[in-house]
Amino acid sequence: METIVTRNIPIQRFHAQARIAETVRRHSKMSEYLDVVTGDLVQQVSANIAMEDFQQEEEHVYPATWWDAVKARFAPRWFLRRWPARYVTVSITGRHIYPALLPVPGQDVITVYGMTIR
């Protein structure tokens, strides 16, 4: 004999929000289209803003899984020689973003002058 299991799943309102600074919004292009493959609504915002990469890149090493973390912390040496813990390396980079610096049409660089007073 088969048992039919039913569940009631509540309907909830989905809300997505993103804040875009006024200086970026004035120089941005917004588009929206329907993806015919998935049926999803895709919204895009693109803008040319001043940004530069950080000078340094950080690398962090983590155990690959929770089991590898348990092995690395609690397993005896003979066990780790037979079944070593695996690790993954994650590189983190970032960017400085300057949305208040307005782009000049036709230029791909903004020159910023600064002064340090000691």
Phi, psi of 13 (to 5 degrees): -75, 130
d(CA 84, CA 75): 10
What SS3 state is found at 43? strand
Structural contact between residues 86 and 68, judged by C-beta atoms closer than 8 angstroms:
yes
Q: How many distinct helices (H) and strands (E) make up the chain?
A: 3, 6
Q: Which residues on neighbouring strands pair with residue 62, listed in sequence order?
A: 88
Asked if the model's pLDDT at residue 114 lies above 70, the reply is no
The two tokens of residue 73 are 């912390």
Helices (H), 13-110: 22-26, 66-74, 77-82
pLDDT on residue 85:
95
Mean pLDDT for the chain overall: 81
pLDDT on residue 112:
67
Q: What is the number of alpha carbons within 13 Å of residue 42 lying toward its C-beta?
A: 8
- The predicted-structure confidence for 27-77, as pLDDT tens digits, reads as follows 788 888 898 898 898 888 887 777 777 777 788 999 999 999 999 999 999
For tokens 């070593």, what's the residue?
84
Phi, psi of 70 (to 5 degrees): -65, -45
